[in-house]
A and B are shown apart, each in its own frame.
Chain A
Amino acid sequence: MNSFIMNSFILINADQFTLDTLAEAGIDYYNWDENSIIVTESQERLSQALGFKGLNAAASEWDGFYLVDLNEQICCTPTAMPATDSMQGKYANTQLGQARENYIKLARTRMDQWLAQTLQAFEKTNAKLLSLAGAFFKRAQLAQAKTIKTAGADGSKLLAEQYRALMAIDKVKSVRFSAGRILIFTDILTATAPNVKGTRELGRFLITVDTTGTLDAPITCHNLTRRIKAWRSGMHAPQVFADGKLCPAEILESIFQLTAEQDLPTAIELLLQHLQVCQNDTIGEQLKAWPLVH
C-alpha cells in the first residue's frame, strides 16, 4: 500500500479523543459501527494526524479498505522541530554559517537516534516490568483464591465487606465484578501539581483490577470522559498511557503490595491519590494539558 495514496481505513476502537483529533486535523469520518469509523485519507496524513509512528493496517475483506486497530498503533515520540533561528542571518553565506547549518542538520539526526535508543531501552525494561507484574499478580491472586477457598462460606462475606470498603472510598461511584475483573467506576476526578496553576479536571475513571492474572496489566485506568495528547498521544491522565496502563512510578510498589496483601480498598485509595496529586516532575507538569476547574 502506497502511504501517499488515498485509501479507505476502518478505524477500530475509535474513541471521542480520536474523533476530536480527526476533526481538528480537518479529516472527515463516517460511522462504520458502534466502535469504528471510516476515513478516506492517505496513510501518511492519517498517521501524522493521529500521532502514530506509521500506520499498522491490515487488508479487509473489501478491496481498497484497510482495518486499523487504534489500540495496536505505536505513538510517536516528540521529534525535534525547527526552532525560530534569530542568529541565522549573522552567519549567512560564511564558512561558519555552512558549518552551523550542517551542525543543526546532523545534530537533529543524532538527537533522534539518541532519543530512539533511550525509548527502546525504556520499552524493553517496561515490557519486562509488565511481565513480572503479571507473574506477581497471578501468584497473588492464587494465594487470595486459596484464602477465600479455605474461608468457605465466609469467603462471600469477606468479599462483600471488601465491596463496602471500596464503596466507602471518596470518589468511588460503583463497583462491579465481571469476567474475572473488578471494575471500579469513579466520579469526576480532579488533580493538582506543584508546577501547574489551579486544579485540573481529569474526568470519570474506570479502574480495572485483574483477578485472574492473565491480562496484559494487573491494574488499568481508563478515563471515560476525555483523553488528552500530553507527553504521549491519547493519555487518560498524566500518569496513565493510552492503553490504560500506569506509567512506572515508585508508588506502584506500595499499590501492588497492598493488593497482594488482600487490602484492595487501601490500594485503590492510594491509586486515586496518585492520580489526583501529581509530582513535581516532568510527568506532573503534563497536567497543564487538562482543563482547569472553574
Chain B
Amino acid sequence: MRLLVLIAFIALLITIFIFSRLVNRGSKLWRLNDLNDEKLGLLSPLKRHYQLRTDYSGTAIDLPRGQVSKAMKLLSGTIHTLIEKRGQPTEAIATYRAPEADFEILKKIPLECRGDFPVAQWQVKRIVRNTILPFWRRDIVIYGQNGGEPPATNDGKLHLVLFGSSQKERSQTRPLNIWGLELPRIAQYNSNPHALRFVDPEDKTCGAELIGNNLYITFDVLQFTAEKTERKRFWRKVRTFLGGRDFHLGLLARSLTRITEELAIFSKLEELLNQSKPVPAERLHATVSASGFDDETIQIGRTARLCDLTSQLLASQLESLAILNGKGQTRQIRETEQFTIYFNAAPKGAIQLPAPDFCWGMPLPANKPILHCISPHGLPIYDDRGIAVGELVGQQLFAYPEFMHYGTAQECLLWANFLLAAREVMEASRLCPDNQSREDYLAGLYGKSLNAHYQHLGNSVSGQSQAALDKSTEAAFGDFARQLRQTVAAQKEMLKIEQAPYLDLGAEFDSLVSISKVVGVRVMEDRLIVNTTDLFCTDPRTKIVHWIGPFEITISTNKITWLNKAEHAQSLKMNAPHVNSSGEACMGNMKDVFSTLITQRQFAACVEAAIAFVEAVNVDDTWGKNINNWPVANSAMLAQNQARG
C-alpha cells in the first residue's frame, strides 16, 4: 500500500513537471540573450536557423522554438524562465555552464547556502556557478532569509546577500523594471552611496551594491515573502526542485549576469590602471577637489569615484587639481594657477557637433543631451575612433560629455580612458613649449586621427580596386557638374524675377495704357491681357495697307499669344500674317526678345513689340507671303489710325 502511495506521489510530481513545461511554451520564435563570440561559435551548427541581433546591450539570437533544446545542449545552458512580450519573440532567460575544463575546476569551489530559500537551493547554486563564480573563482556564501549577516571583515569569500543592503533601510519606492525585466510588486532597500553600485542605466534603478567582498542584491530578487501560505511555499519549492521554471530564478540569473559583466569591466579598469604609471601613495586622494556636483545620494558615489580615478591617473603629473562640474555649459577660458578639469563642459567659442553614441567602444550615459563640442583654442583629446571628446587649453582640461553619471563600472572605465588620453596630451603639451612644436604636434594628431577615420572607412571598400573607385567618382562628378550648371541657371532665373522692377505695378499699368494702340489692360489668373485697336500691315511688294484687325494679346509666364477679334480672321484661319489659328506665332529671331522682355517684366516694351510684330510682314516667309489675302484697309480706317499716331 505504502509503495503504491509512493508511486502515485512520484507520478503526480512528474505530471506537474511535464504540465509546467507544457503550459508555458511561449511563441514560435524564442530569443536567447547574453551571448558572446565564443557562445556563437558553439552555436555554429544552428547558424542557418537563427537570426543575430546586436545592440549596445549585447548580442542575442532569435531562433525557432523547436531548435531551442538543441541550442541549450550545445551551450550547456539552462532556461530559468520565459518572458512573453506581445508581438515579440519569447525571451528565454538562461545561464550557461563554463567550458568543460573550467567547469571541473569551478565544481570544486564550495558554494554555501545560509538561511531559508523560497526556491530549491540547488537551482540558486547552479545560477551562481554559471554566472558569478567563473569570474570570482573563490568560495561564495549565499544568504537567504534569516541567513544572518555577512562578516564586516574580509575573509576571502564572496558573501552574496540575496535581499539586503549595508544601509538596512527599506526604500519607500518600489522598482518597476530592472535590467530589461518588468517587476511584480516587490520591496527594495536603499542603497549605500559609498558602495560600488550596480545601476541599470536604462531604468536608473540600483539593483545591487558591493562593499568589500559583500555583494548585496538590494531588491527582493527571489520574492521571499510572495507565498502567504505554507502549502504554496511548499509547492514552489517542489516545482523548482524538480527543475521547473520560476520568474524569480530568471530575475536572479539576469541580475547576476549583469553584475558579473560590471565586475568584469572593473577588472579591465584595474588592468588599465596597473598599466599606467604608478602614483606615489602619499599623493593619492590628497590633491583632488570636486565642486558643482549636487549632494544627492547618487552623486556621492560618482564624485568619489571621479576624484579617486583622477587622482590615480593624473596626480603624478600635478601638484593639485580641481574638478568643476560644467553641467553641459560652455566656460570662459581663464589663466589659472591650479590645474582645473571642467567636467561636461567646453570652452567658450566651441561649436557643437552631434554627440557620439559610443566612446572607446562603450555607450555614453544617455540621461540627458550631451554637449559635444570642439573649439579652435586647445589641443584636442580623441577617443579611439577619432572623435574629439575634450581638449586641453593651458591649465584647463575640458571633458565635453558627461562621462560619469551613476558611477557604474562602465562609466569609470570611460573616465579612465579619457584621463589616459588626456594625460598623453598633457605630456605632449609640456614637450611643446613654442608655437612651432605645438603646430607639429597638432599636425601629427590631425594626421593620426584622420588616418584612423580613413582606415575605418577604407574597410567598407576593401574589395574594390582604386581604379574602380576613381572611375565611379569620376562618373558621379559628371552627374554633379551637369546638375550644378542647371541649378545655377535656375538660381539666376529666380534672382532675376525676385529682383525685377515689379514693385511699382501702378507705373507698369500706366506705361501699358500709354501705348497709343492699347485700349484695355487686365489680369486674369496668371495672364496679362491687353486689348488693342485695329492693327494694319503694309505689303512691301504692293505697298497696299491691309486691315488685320483688333487684337487681344495675352502674355503668360512663359509665352505670348495673339487673338484677332475681327471676323475675317476666322475665315482666313490665321490670327495675323505670322500668327496661326491657335494664336501662336512663327517668331523666328523675335522669340528670344519676347522671352527676355517677359522675364524682365518689361511688359510695355513687350506689348509694343507684339503690336509691331503684327504690323510687320516678311513676304519671303511661307505664312507671310499670304498677306495679300487679308482685306485692304479703307481710307476711313487709315485716317483713324493715323489720328491715333
Contacts and interface: CB of A to CB of B under 8 A. Distances in A.
A100 interface: yes
Interface string A224-237: 10000001000000
B447 A180 contact: no
A122 B490 contact: yes
B330 interface: yes
B639 interface: no
Contacts of B278: none
B522 interface: yes
A175 interface: yes
B361 to A, nearest CB: 16
B454 A107 contact: no
Contacts of B461: 142, 145-146
A155 B347 CA distance: 31
Contacts of A85: 504, 506
A246 to B, nearest CB: 11
Interface in B326-377: 328-330, 349, 351-354, 356, 371-372, 374, 376
B454 A128 contact: no
Interface string A59-94: 000000000000000000110110101011000000
Interface stretch (A195-203, A247-255, A266-274): A247-255
A226 B71 CA distance: 63
A118 B448 contact: no
Interface in B446-477: 446-451, 453-455, 457-458, 460-462, 464, 466, 469-470, 472-473, 476-477
A280 interface: no
Interface stretch (A21-29, A42-50, A109-117): A109-117
Contacts of A111: 502, 505
Q: How large is the interface on B (under 10, 10 to 19, 20 to 34, 35 or more residues)?
A: 35 or more
B460 A182 contact: no
A148 B505 contact: no
Q: Is the interface of A mostly helix, strand, loop or mixed?
A: helix
A141 B481 CA distance: 17
Interface string A88-105: 100000001001101110
Contact of B469 (A34, A142, A178): A142
Contacts, number: 251
Interface string B500-537: 00111111111001000000111111111000000000
Given A81-B503, A110-B523, A122 B455 contact: no
B353 A149 contact: no
Given A88-B506, A99-B521, A117-B557, A211 B450 contact: yes
Nearest to B446: A163
A8 interface: no
A114 B557 contact: yes
A87 B507 contact: yes
A102 to B, nearest CB: 7
Interface in A122-157: 122, 125-126, 128-129, 132-133, 135-136, 139-150, 155-157
A250 B487 CA distance: 10
A122 B487 contact: yes
B566 interface: no
Contact of A80 (B380, B488, B505): B505
A122 B498 CA distance: 12
A100 B520 CA distance: 10
Interface string B538-566: 00000000000000000001000000000
A91 to B, nearest CB: 9
A282 B329 CA distance: 41
A106 interface: yes
B495 interface: yes
A104 B506 contact: yes
Interface stretch (B417-425, B436-444, B568-576): B436-444
A139 B472 contact: yes
Contact of B525 (A83, A110, A150, A250): A110
A282 B495 contact: yes
12 contacts: A87-B507, A103-B505, A103-B523, A129-B480, A129-B483, A160-B443, A177-B446, A179-B354, A179-B388, A211-B457, A212-B457, A256-B477
Which 3 A-B residue pairs are closest in the complex by CB-CB distance? A160-B447, A106-B523, A149-B458
